[in-house]
Structure 1
Amino acid sequence: MSQQEYDKDLRSVQQARRLLEQCRAAQRQFASASAAQVDAICQAMSEAAYQEASRLGLMAHEETGYGNPDHKTIKNQHAAKAVWESIRGIQTVGVVSRDEARKVMTIAEPMGVVAALTPSTNPTSTAIFKSLIAVKGRNGIVISPHPSAARCTQEAVRIVAAAAERAGAPRGLIVCLEEPTLQATQELLRHYAVTVILATGGGPMVRAAHSTGKPAYGVGPGNVPAWVDRSADIRKAARDLVWSKSFDCSLICATEQTVVADQAIAQDLRRHMEDAGAYWVDEAQAARLGELLFRPDGGMNTRSVGQSAQALAKAIGLAVPETVKVLVAPLGGVGAQHPLSREKLTSVLGFITAPDARQGLETCLSILKFGGDGHTAVIHSQDRAQVEEMALRLPAFRIVVNSMSTLGSVGHTCGFAPSFTLGTGGIGGAISGDNITVTHLINIKRVGWELVSWTPPDAEAAARSDARGPRHADAQDVDAIVRGVLDRLKAAGATHGQAS
């Protein structure tokens, strides 16, 4: 390691410590803010981020080389506006509720300082989202950006922080590491000033967050199956699948990964998907795609992440029209022998058929267990009983029905909480299966008044004795004593008789 690299590591660690201490001081000051002050600050953050959504989207695309800048703009707008609208009315200051029947009052308290890790796939939208939910809960936040998306993330944080300060937030409440090294991130996660961790990114990052001993919200991978039933609106399902998978080149982890088609409508579905921009590859081309997307150990090749169908096709020696949005690869099964049945954060979609809904469900279960337990699943069906039966069995905490999973899962086209951190629950290695939002970043204090007066039995006896003075045995007491003695003698005699 050169001296220059060593100095960078030292500088980054020192910066992390300095920012954390400043953030803790700012948060302690901000903890006394009123609800009106908090909302005014969040409103200013939301408006500033929304106005800069397009520029930030372009910055993220240019810096990472991932996705589509127009689609990144939509994600930034969703993070700035939809997230804020969803949390605006949530009480995060003072008394939250009063239960007069149970005589319990609840009070919201901030958690403190949030250590937030953001990914390269959705860098600016995640930074905006996390800053909003942290500040709405009267927390401070220190963001550690992915190194390959550091500049655009820092700019997103600068925009919301400046807006917050103009609206009255203390300086240092929202900050971002300027030199995001591994050492700085480790310092951030373990520092005494941090009270909760909010991690969005790859598996190693999330495992590191959970290993610190601090409360942590992390998310796992999403290997999302999409069942298409014979009862579905096939034309709409086809459009949803292609549009969803191609949205920002499949960079949202809840994007569909494999279509499981009812055999009865599989050909019809394929035809409509092709009309919408899907291109079917053959077996040899699918094998080359598998080698392009994944390393021999099954790990994802990051150079293939977030790429267009045209770029991926060119990489395997295939030319496709500019109208193509997604490459579709037929699968012979699910598992390590079928690499394209894995999570694919790029414009490639698996396709497999099933003879009926029962077998379709089993295939969806296999896909989730192969790398997406707890995350998301999709059902295209008009049979409500079938939807409910599948939803009961699928080990996923978001079931998107008759919609695009990419935008449905984050609360844009479905009624889930708008979020860019999607919990996978215990089965997916996370503490929550929710779409993470402000309610996960506040503590609730409970105040309870006595409902029932209770006195220990010995105290009751003593109280009666004190009230009546010295107590002497009466006739009822004597009768009870005699009956007790006779019962014991009778029992002893019966036992003796049996023994003889």
Structure 2
Amino acid sequence: MNAPDALAEVDAIVARARAAQARFEAGGSQALYDRAALAAGWAIMDPDRNRHLAELAVETTGLGNVPDKITKNHRKTLGLLRDISSARTYGVIKDDPATGITEIARPIGVIGAVVPSTNPGATPANNIINALKCGNAIVVSPSPKGVPTCEALLDYIHAEFDKAGIDRDLVQMIPGRGSKDKTQRLLEISDLIVVTGSQNNVRRAYTSGTPALAVGAGNVTVIVDSTADLAAAADKICASKTFDNATSCSSENSVVVLDAVYDAFVDEMARTGGALVRDETKVTDKLWVKGHLNPAAIARDADEMIAALGLENDVPAGTKYIAVESRGIGSDHPLSGEKLSRVLTVYRAADFDAAVRITRDIQLHQGRGHSVGIHTADDDHILTLAKAIPTSRVIVNQAHTFATGGAFTNGMPFSLSMGCGSWGGNSIDTNVHWRHFMQTTKIVREIPGHEPAPEEIFAGYWAEVGK
């Protein structure tokens, strides 16, 4: 297909979506929006379909593992449906006599969603459910490797739509293997774009001329201080680091351990399957090939990764992840960045202040604005870390991968897309969630006036510095 025909194809898809959305809104109700969102949710949560999507994702992308993909598809979708179950997204959602303002929920229109190969089922499903809940249509642009999974997901959603009486054109995708030109066209002609994954796509989204929700790069650093429950911290870090073979942007990439508990924590890591490698060149020489992460090692099961790194004789049987000692931070020290693999960089800190400095330096190198973690029993340490680091989230005593994007045991919204604030070059510092997919019309009525005298406003200031 030549370029003009390819762009015309995107135009036609968005035109169908826009027409379907207009009909959806014109005949809208909270019950209709909820039914559409639930249809999309069941399309991925049905156990047989969930398994097929997980198997297809691993087969076609080579990233992650099937059991964890199944868990992710299920829990991320179930959590999102819980979050939105009581959300009001149609009609009058707020009426405040004190201000005289009535708010009416309004859809945004056609959402364009660019989704990564790391989560080719869960991420588009999350965006689709949020879009439908708020009365929108959505067009998904998957990464090339994620196309088969996205196609299967949409087939399942359309089958549920047929049962529920929902228009199929509300949920579409850019067909074929995808291209930068097609994605760019979608960015330009949608009403809102949501981008997860490639930072190149994030930059293109912000310069497209369309309102954008885009997220920053991850490179999670976690501190283990001298007050931490070391066994619990090691268990949580292992579970988080190995989940779906570290495909998540919330997977721990570095751990900073205080000197006072360093040796004891290394023992706890070993207990959970974390093998310490003290010579970092044994990892860097194989994890990067010609400046790029080795595809034979990233997002692989432990045995495959260990073989790709040539560490079979250096780590014990049953190793689940590699912990590599390092001191360097920055572009000349690739272990200080995101590794998309079961490789965790370990830094040793003399005290807590040193741990904070190391964590800050790592975040300034890569991952600023995303999130950091801490295992501690000291509330002052938590607050100190939160004030010192350019981050949107500080995850406390939790398995980072499971906590950052929402968990049933914390208050974060369920999401696979984490805004990183101005630190990460993003317009939001929250998890992308349903409220980002809705706008409101405000009816403004007159109320009794309240115009203060200047003295009411400036009295304290004048008393302090003079008039």
SS of 2:169 mapped into structure 1? coil
Alignment partners' CA distance in 2, 1:349 and 1:401: 19
Q: Give per-residue Cα distances to partners, 1:280-323, cap 9 Å, x unaligned.
A: 1231xx324224333555x5455543122322221232215552
> 2-side partners of 1:291 and 1:122: how far apart?
28
The partner residue of 1:276 within 267, 272, 277 is: 272
1:307 aligns with 2:300: yes
Specify the alignment match of 1:129 in structure 2.
Answer: 126
Of the three residues 92, 97, 101, the one matched with 1:95 is 92
1:29–1:170 contact (8 Å) kept in structure 2: no
- Deviation of 1:392 after TM superposition, in Å, equals 2.2
1:299-357 deviation digits (Å, cap 9, x = unpaired): 54555431223222212322155521111110122112321111111110000011111
Equivalent in 112, 115, 127 of residue 115 of structure 1: 112
Q: Distance in 1 between matches of 2:428 and 2:296?
A: 31
Q: 1:75 aligns with which of 48, 72, 77?
A: 72
User: In the TM superposition, what is the alpha-carbon distance from 1:257 to its structure 2 partner?
Assistant: 0.7
| TM superposition score normalised by structure 2 | 0.91
CA contact (8 A) 1:261 1:360 kept: yes
In 2, the alpha carbon distance for the partners of 1:8 and 1:380 equals 54
Q: How does 1:289-328 map to 2 (within 5 A)?
A: 289-294=283-288, 299-319=292-312, 320=315, 323-328=318-323
Could you tell me which of 186, 189, 198 is aligned with 1:188? Answer: 186
Matched, 1:144 2:138: no
- Preserved contact between residue 310 and residue 321 of structure 1 (Cα < 8 Å): no
Question: Does the 8 Å contact 1:238/1:276 carry over to 2?
Answer: yes
| Pair 1:322–1:119, CA change in 2 (3 A) | farther
Instruction: Give the alignment of 1:353-368 within 5 angstroms.
Output: 353-368=348-363
Counterpart mapping for 1:406-425 below 5 A: 406-412=401-407, 413-425=409-421
1:429-444 equivalence runs, <5 A: 429-444=425-440
- Which residue is 1:497 aligned to? none
Residues 161 and 175 in structure 1, CA contact (< 8 A), matched pair in contact too: no
User: Are the aligned partners of 1:259 and 1:352 in contact in 2 as well (CA < 8 Å)?
Assistant: yes
Aligned partner of residue 18 in structure 2, secondary structure? helix
Letter in 2 for 1:314: A
1:425 and 1:303, CA in 2 relative to 1: closer, same or farther beyond 3 A?
A: farther
1:389: how far off? Answer: 2.0
Equivalent residue, structure 1, for 2:461: none
Give the partner amino acid of 1:132: I
Question: Aligned in 2, Cα 1:282/1:353: closer, same or farther, shift over 3 Å?
Answer: closer
Matched, 1:21 2:18: no
Q: Distance in 2 between matches of 1:235 and 1:64?
A: 34
Partner residue, 1:49: 44
Partner of 1:374: 369
Helix, strand or coil for the counterpart of 1:435? coil
> In structure 2, how many angstroms separate the alpha carbons of the residues matched to 1:268 and 1:10?
63
> Match for residue 387 of structure 1?
382
- Give 1:152-301 correspondences, 5 Å limit: 152-179=149-176, 180-191=178-189, 194-283=190-279, 286-294=280-288, 299-301=292-294
| Distance change (3 Å), C-alpha of 1:357 and 1:454 | closer
Distance 1:195 1:215 in 2: 7
Distance in 1, matches of 2:410 and 2:251, equals: 14
Q: Are the equivalent residues in 2 in contact too, given 1:341–1:350 (CA < 8 A)?
A: yes
User: Which ranges of structure 1 fall in alignment gaps of 5 or more residues?
Assistant: 1-6, 456-500
Q: CA offsets per residue over residues 223-243 of structure 1, 9 Å max, x none?
A: 111000111110000111111
Query: Can you list the C-alpha shifts for 1:436-460, whole angstroms capped at 9, x where unaligned?
Result: 01100111221121124699xxxxx
Shift of 1:164: 2.9
Once the two structures are superposed, what CA deviation does each residue of 1:363-390 show, in whole Å capped at 9, x if it has no partner? 1101111111100100100111211221
Unaligned 5+ segments in structure 2 are 452-467
Structure label with greater radius of gyration? 1
Structure 1 stretches of at least 4 aligned residues deviating more than 6 Å after TM superposition? none
Structure 2: which amino acid aligns with 1:75?
K
**Identity over aligned pairs, percent:** 30
The answer to whether residue 445 in structure 2 is matched with residue 449 in structure 1 is yes
> Counterpart amino acid of 1:184?
K
- RMSD (Å), alpha carbons: 1.8
Say whether the 8 Å CA contact 1:79–1:128 is kept in structure 2: no
Secondary structure (helix, strand or coil) at the match of 2:392 reads strand
Give the equivalent residue in structure 1 for 2:24.
30
Residue 14 of structure 1, CA deviation: 3.1
Q: Is the Cα contact below 8 Å between 2:296 and 2:305 reproduced in 1? A: no
Instruction: Judge conservation of contact 1:53–1:74 (CA < 8 Å) in 2.
Output: no
Q: Which moved more, 1:318-327 or 1:338-347?
A: 318-327
Three-state SS of the structure 1 residue aligned to 2:121 is helix
Deviation at 1:10, TM superposition (A): 5.2
2 CA distance for matches of 1:27 and 1:77?
27
Query: What secondary structure does 1:163 align onto?
Result: helix
Report the alpha carbon displacement of residue 267 of structure 1 after superposing the two structures with TM. Answer: 0.8
